[in-house]
Amino acid sequence: MKEHIENEYAKFWIEKDILFFVYKNGISIDQSVATKIVEDRLSLQQGKAFLIFCDMRGIKSINKSARNYLAIEGSVLIKAVALLVNNPLTSAISGFYIKTSDPAIKTQVFTKKEDALEFLNNETPKF
């Protein structure tokens, strides 16, 4: 299994059964970018479902078709998502995404990495 992937839009890696996903600074996401991101994420996952930590702080904009794609096709092999934001813009983007796209998987927005990781760790089944 690959340990990490990086493309011109984001970096992805798996650590302790969580897939970390960090958008690069200043990117704009349209349908083609969203499709590339999902393809690379699925390549890294190799058919296994993961909890996702998604750092959105680098996003400058995302259009409606990209939001819809990420909410539906982009939710394949995802158990739950924690979105990390740091300013009113990324907070508004993520809140708007959740309200308008109604993602198929449990998704929450956080301003602190520790809170996001705690949410994901609580989503892990305890046996």
Domains of the chain: 4-123 (3.30.750.24)
Instruction: Band the pLDDT of 127: cuts 50, 70, 90.
Output: very low
Residue 92, burial from CB neighbour count under 10 angstroms (0-12, 13-18, 19+) = exposed
**For the segment 6-64, what is each residue's pLDDT rounded down to a tens digit?**
999 999 999 999 999 999 999 999 999 999 999 999 999 999 999 999 999 999 888 98
CA-CA distance, 39 to 104, in Å (whole number)? 18
Q: Count CB-CB contacts under 10 A for residue 27.
A: 16
List the Cα angle 20/110/98 in 5-degree steps: 90
Handedness of CA 63, 93, 50, 127 (dihedral sign): negative
For the ranges 27-36, 87-96, 116-125, the lowest mean pLDDT is seen at 87-96
